[in-house]
Amino acid sequence: RGFLKGAGTGLVAAGGVNAPAVIAQPRRFRLNLLTSWPAALDNLYGTAEYFAGRIEEMTDGDVRVRTSPGGAEVGALEVYDAVSSGAFEACHTAPYYFIGKNPAHGFFTALPFGMTLEQQNAWMTAGDGQALWDELNARDNLIAFPGGNTGAQCGGWFNVEINSPEDLQGLRMRFPGHGGRVMAKAGVNIQQLPGGEVFTAMERGALDAAEWVGPYDDQILGMQDVAKYYYLPSWAEPSAMLGFYFNLEIWNTFPADIQAQIQACCAEANNWMASQYLAKNPLALEELKAAGVQIKHFPDSVLEAFAQAAREINDENMSNPDYARIHSSWSAFLERLRGWDQTNSFRYREFIYRD
Ligand code: PYR
């Protein structure tokens, strides 16, 4: 495809005897970056564009990235295969869309009742997260880096009230990742749909409920026009990490400085997205309330039912050796961080949020 590596990738001596000179030859790297996002979602798709802008600036145009919305060139949920095969150089997507290939991919977006944004970033950066992800991805000829995080998501949009676990039975709901499998265990009829199809499925009555991200994105999708109740919090995605994936063979042809600059831009984009959501979600939630959306909280009995189903799904996944190996790093790290949070920051939050 359109991936071009400039002929002169090094420094070429081109001087006379007394005045040797080195002339840097232009280097050209062109990346087609598929995404799983509709272009209207300016935090998700916007992160791919942000990355494209930053890497072009940082390399003074040596690296240029062309982004494309989900479905424009490749199905929104098929981007992993398209990059793995080398048909495209890169993609920006949610790793948990690929738990059908291996349940271990779930650790790199979200696990039900799992890590917060801070905890996920810490595991990826200061724990074993990146090394474990590298090992998993390399088998599919891929390498990936954290590429944004939505932070805490919301529980989803419903047209019926959820007062007890019985109210979930038979509901048709869009729900991704291991959270979707938990929902299925709790009696919900799960459908996997990319973001670009969620609104239409609700509008046509093909779904009774849907989970996407949070107030800012959901408002752009128009969920307030097709559902009555907005349930909080998300027990399935206390944060959701996304990834920039690169075809590994192509990645290995990049000089070390280009690889380092791409990684730096991914890290910037990771932070950029999380900050955008944190800043925009509270304002969007106020607007949704003003537009008449009824905000509800899941009752404890329903959260308990999700927690029980999540334990069962986790037990089932443990028969997969990759899942079991990664789980042991992930859970030990999380336990340590939770102990620290509980004895320190949690006390602070408890104090400032007391009635
Ligand atoms: C979702 O697909 O639901 C995300 O949160 C990205």
The closest residue, in CA terms, to atom 1 on ligand 1 is: 212
In the block, residue with structure tokens 């007890």:
164
pTM of the prediction? Answer: 0.93
pLDDT of residue 7: 36
Mean pLDDT taken over the chain: 94
Residue 273 has pLDDT above 70, yes or no: yes
**What's the rounded Cα separation, in Å, for the pair 126 and 333?**
10
DSSP per residue over 149-186, as a string? E--S---EEESS---SGGGGTT-EEE--HHHHHHHHHT
pLDDT of residue 355: 80
Pairing of strands 22-24, 241-247: unpaired
pLDDT of residue 19: 55
What is the best residue among 207, 237, 242, 281 to mutate for testing ligand 1's pocket, by most ligand atoms within 8 Å of CB? 237
Find out whether 24 and 56 touch, Cβ atoms under 8 Å: no
Residue 26 has pLDDT above 70, yes or no: no
94 Cβ closer than 6 Å to some ligand 1 atom: yes
Phi-psi category of residue 310: left, alpha or beta, with phi > 0 → left and psi -120 to 50 → alpha? alpha
Instruction: Work out the average pLDDT over 74-93.
Output: 98
3-state secondary structure of 202: helix
Q: What is the pLDDT of residues 170-206, one digit of tens each?
A: 999 999 999 999 999 999 999 999 999 999 999 999 9
**What's the rounded Cα separation, in Å, for the pair 146 and 134?**
11
ipTM for this prediction: 0.99
The closest residue, in CA terms, to atom 5 on ligand 1 is: 213
Q: What is the pLDDT of residues 333-346, one digit of tens each?
A: 999 999 999 999 99
Which amino acid is located at 332 in the chain? A
Q: What is the pLDDT of residues 285-331, one digit of tens each?
A: 999 999 999 999 999 999 999 999 999 999 999 999 999 999 999 99
Pairing of strands 90-93, 241-247: antiparallel
Percentage, residues of the chain above pLDDT 90? 92
The closest residue, in CA terms, to atom 3 on ligand 1 is: 212
What is the best residue among 35, 154, 211 to mutate for testing ligand 1's pocket, by most ligand atoms within 8 Å of CB? 211
Find out whether 198 and 210 touch, Cβ atoms under 8 Å: yes
Instruction: Compute φ and ψ for 263, nearest 5 degrees.
Output: -60, -40
CA angle 80, 94, 90 (to 5 degrees): 40
The 3-state secondary structure of 312-325, one letter per residue: HHHHHHCCCHHHHH
176 Cβ closer than 6 Å to some ligand 1 atom: yes
277 Cβ closer than 6 Å to some ligand 1 atom: no
Q: What is the pLDDT of residues 31-47, one digit of tens each?
A: 999 999 999 999 999 99
87's CB contacts (< 8 A; 6+ apart) are: 1, 74
